[in-house]
Amino acid sequence: MRPEILFPLFKEVTALPGVGPKVAALVEKIAGPVVRDLAFLLPVNVVDRSRRPGVAGAEDGEIATFEVTVDEHLPARNPRRPYRVRTRDATGFLTLAYFHARPDYLKRLLPDGAARIVSGKVERFGGEIQILHPDHVVDPEDAGELPDFEPVYPLTAGLASKTLRKAVTAAVELAPELEEWADRHLVAQRGWPTWRAALETAHAPASAADVRHDAPARQRLAYDELFADQLALAVMREFRRAAPGRPLTGDGALVKAIAGAAPFEATNAQRKAFKEIADDMGSERRMARLLQGDVGAGKTFVAALAVGRAAEAGVQAALMAPTEILARQHARSLAPLLAAAGLRVAALTGRDKGAARKALLAEIADGDIDLVCGTHALFQDDVGFNDLGLIVIDEQHRFGVSDRLKLTDKARRPDLLVMTATPIPRTLTLAAFGDLDVSRLDEKPPGRTPVDTRAVPTDRLEDVMRAVGRAIDAGDRVYWVCPLVEESDNSDLAAADERWRELATLFGERRVGLLHGRLPAAEKEARADAFRTGEIDVLVATTVVEVGIDAPDATIMIIEHAERFGLAQLHQLRGRVGRGSKPSTCILLYKPPLNDTAKLRLEALRRTDDGFQIAEEDWKLRGPGELLGTRQSGEIKHVLADLAVHGDLLEIAASDARAVAQADPKLEGPRGEALRTLLYLFDRDRAVTWLRAG
């Protein structure tokens, strides 16, 4: 149960004065449905209304505040001209001008002879000093309603800034004093206020510096959000590790057979990663490990060794991939490796139907299949295992954190290995995978040749097409990736379809294939197979090729409008070529002129093929927004923290959270109640559920 002290913050926003159903719908758009969401809607700027120069001393273009007396109303004779209200103070005359005015309203707002405080942007126009549509007009008795420093909040159409400001103020007033959950030494060292004081200060900025991310109050609130995240992940990690596992060990014979069947010698990084995995699998605790590897670093081979170890211990393994193409590709590439150890591999996806599916499910349930590669189909109720002991999840960021737990319902204390081919900076690794131990593959298997990367302007498109013709005549195979025009499958499809028609006209329809995300799964796989086996020479595709198409003989990657892609995504796409010993080329077609960010992005890609270095560059250029892919269901969503700015706070939060979870995994110590309140405050209730469960 949520602590009673938080009840006021979790009331619906309609509980606030002035917020009816219509306003609530607008507030929910920009903040959320409950009072807490409004309290966490921090100002994006501040308007200084403290300057009160007197009318004669006002400067053109400045925001200023005046106490004036209303002289007269001057309605416009021409509807295109503004309605004017003449006012004055002891130093001069100030005209208030309104277009599309309602005279009855203005006469009530500004009665003749009345004193008023007005604030807005000063203009000198035709010898007059005026304010066009003043921001504020208040009676001197209500002067307290007009702060010297006015916070500016994000708005949406139909929501008045004054209405939102009042609602936010009321929300902050409902925030209770809460017991300190942060480490007291950290709070003292950083000079941070308490949580509630930080909230009040953040909503009462006195200068532009107060709305910056590094302002003490902002830092404090950002830390609290990051600490809640990391504490939830740390609790999950300890919950998993504390849950009794079962040692998965063996004599090494199957692992040795699998390693011997590989067409390459394992790298030192692969050996080290497998040792870490094998140690985890052999321990009494359940493994929860992330295997991070650059494109082509050989994660699948390490996973195969882990499957071999699981089989030596007499248990089955499941590998979950985000797409049917990738699931079946894994089954195809792993089958010969595992067959060398006498192990059977099967693919199970949504397209498996009828009698064939029924027979396959029976084999899985009987334990005749050692490794099942599949998609979300593995979660379905009719899928049962004889004894599932190892779960491997590929491209984890495409599922979201919560999906990691779903397969465990079908297993008895399984070990978990998560893989990603997206090199991730340390800061983002903590944010996305803080509940996992991490192994890195930072070497590529021998024999891989660096990809020759070139940036070419789009006005040389015809030259590129002619070069493609020469390449396919010489027996090369070519990827042609079309741009992500906008967040729409339709626009992607249109761009790819147009390019496919043009290339098919040039080279013949039999030599050019088209692949995009809206094709039926069977057709996608058929076209990918045709490219893989050499039936077609050029594969025109949307970014569906980023994950899931493996054609080792392909040597040319053309990325059209490369300036529209993120750096990490460009690196992923480039990684589709250069997978064999033949020289490979990546052409980055761009439309000039490039902005500074696009220039830095393309230069970084040409300079290095180290995915981890590229990930750090991408982090600097873009922050975390799309670093894990443009269309994904990851869960890195922060309201108060900005990972690009608060990376140091995340490191501290992660360290403290792990220390707390290891020393007091059930949060029953002196800080326990405060820490549980923190988890509830930031909707990390699930972690509390795990605590109650055991």
Ordered DSSP codes for 343-398:
--EEEE-TT--HHHHHHHHHHHHHT--SEEEESGGGGSTT---S-EEEEEEESGGG
Q: Sign of dihedral through CA atoms 326, 332, 337, 339?
A: positive
Specify the pLDDT at position 437: 87
Q: How far is it, in rounded angstroms, from Cα 500 to Cα 538?
A: 9
Q: Strands, E, within 51-161: which ranges?
A: 63-74, 83-89, 92-98, 115-125, 128-132, 136-138, 149-152
Q: Strands, E, within 395-450: which ranges?
A: 415-420, 437-441
Site of tokens 């700015």:
645
Instruction: Please give the class, per CATH, of domain 50-146.
Output: mainly beta
Length in residues, the chain: 694
Predicted confidence band of residue 576 (pLDDT cuts 50, 70, 90): confident
Residues 6+ apart with CB under 8 A from 56: 91, 92
Mean pLDDT confidence for 144-154 = 89
Q: Which of 10-24, 351-365, 481-495, 561-575 has the highest mean predicted lDDT (pLDDT)? A: 10-24
Specify the pLDDT at position 402: 55
Mean pLDDT confidence for 116-135 = 93
The CATH number assigned to the domain with range 253-441 reads 3.40.50.300
Structure tokens at 13: 């926003």
Predicted confidence band of residue 657 (pLDDT cuts 50, 70, 90): very high
Percent of the chain scored above 90 by pLDDT?
57
Specify the pLDDT at position 630: 33
Cβ 319 vs Cβ 344: under 8 Å = no
Coil, strand or helix: which one is 436? coil
Specify the pLDDT at position 125: 83
The more confidently predicted of residues 549 and 320 is: 320
Cβ 503 vs Cβ 538: under 8 Å = yes
Tens digit of pLDDT for each residue in 513-534? 998 877 887 888 888 889 988 8
Tens digit of pLDDT for each residue in 577-634? 887 778 999 999 998 888 887 888 888 888 888 777 787 777 666 655 444 433 333 3
Specify the pLDDT at position 397: 53
Predicted confidence band of residue 485 (pLDDT cuts 50, 70, 90): very low
Predicted confidence band of residue 127 (pLDDT cuts 50, 70, 90): confident
Q: How far is it, in rounded angstroms, from Cα 340 to Cα 581?
A: 24
Mean pLDDT confidence for 671-692 = 82
Report which of 267, 289, 241, 530 is spatially closest to residue 420, judged by C-alpha positions: 289
Peptide bond preceding 593 in cis form (omega within 30 of 0): yes
Mean pLDDT confidence for 276-304 = 90
Residue spans in the chain of domains classed CATH 2.40.50.140: 50-146
The fold adopted by the segment(s) 451-608 is Rossmann fold (3.40.50)
Specify the pLDDT at position 689: 66
Among 180-189, 203-212, 671-680, name the one with the lowest average pLDDT: 203-212
Q: How far is it, in rounded angstroms, from Cα 221 to Cα 345?
A: 49
Q: How far is it, in rounded angstroms, from Cα 502 to Cα 507?
A: 9
Q: Supply the DSSP string of 304-346, one letter for each residue.
A: HHHHHHHHHTT-EEEEE-SSHHHHHHHHHHHHHHHHTTT--EE
Specify the pLDDT at position 400: 53
Res 403 pLDDT > 90: no
Cβ 441 vs Cβ 417: under 8 Å = no
Specify the pLDDT at position 489: 45
Cβ 607 vs Cβ 581: under 8 Å = no
Specify the pLDDT at position 375: 86
Among 426-440, 501-515, 616-630, name the one with the lowest average pLDDT: 616-630
Q: Which of 244-248, 322-326, 585-589 has the highest mean predicted lDDT (pLDDT)? A: 585-589
Res 569 pLDDT > 90: no
In the chain, % helix, strand, coil (3-state, to 5) comes to 45, 20, 35
Res 635 pLDDT > 60: no
Specify the pLDDT at position 571: 87
Q: Which of 101-115, 387-401, 524-538 has the highest mean predicted lDDT (pLDDT)? A: 101-115
pTM above 0.85, yes or no: no
Q: Across the strands, what pairs with 68?
A: 116
Specify the pLDDT at position 3: 92
Count Cβ atoms below 10 Å from residue 580 Cβ, excluding itself.
Answer: 15
Cβ 118 vs Cβ 69: under 8 Å = no
Percent of the chain scored above 70 by pLDDT?
91
**To the nearest whole number, what is the mean pLDDT of the chain?**
87
Specify the pLDDT at position 396: 57
Res 483 pLDDT > 70: yes
Mean pLDDT confidence for 434-448 = 80
Cα–chain center distance at 29 = 19
Beta strand 451-457 with 584-590 is parallel
Phi, psi of 85, rounded to the nearest 5 degrees? -120, 120
Cα–chain center distance at 69 = 54
Among 50-54, 138-142, 403-407, 453-457, name the one with the lowest average pLDDT: 403-407
Residue spans in the chain of domains classed CATH 3.40.50.300: 253-441, 451-608
How far, in Å, are 114, 145, 340, 449 from residue 69 at the CA level? 6, 19, 94, 80
Specify the pLDDT at position 140: 95
Q: How far is it, in rounded angstroms, from Cα 573 to Cα 569?
A: 6
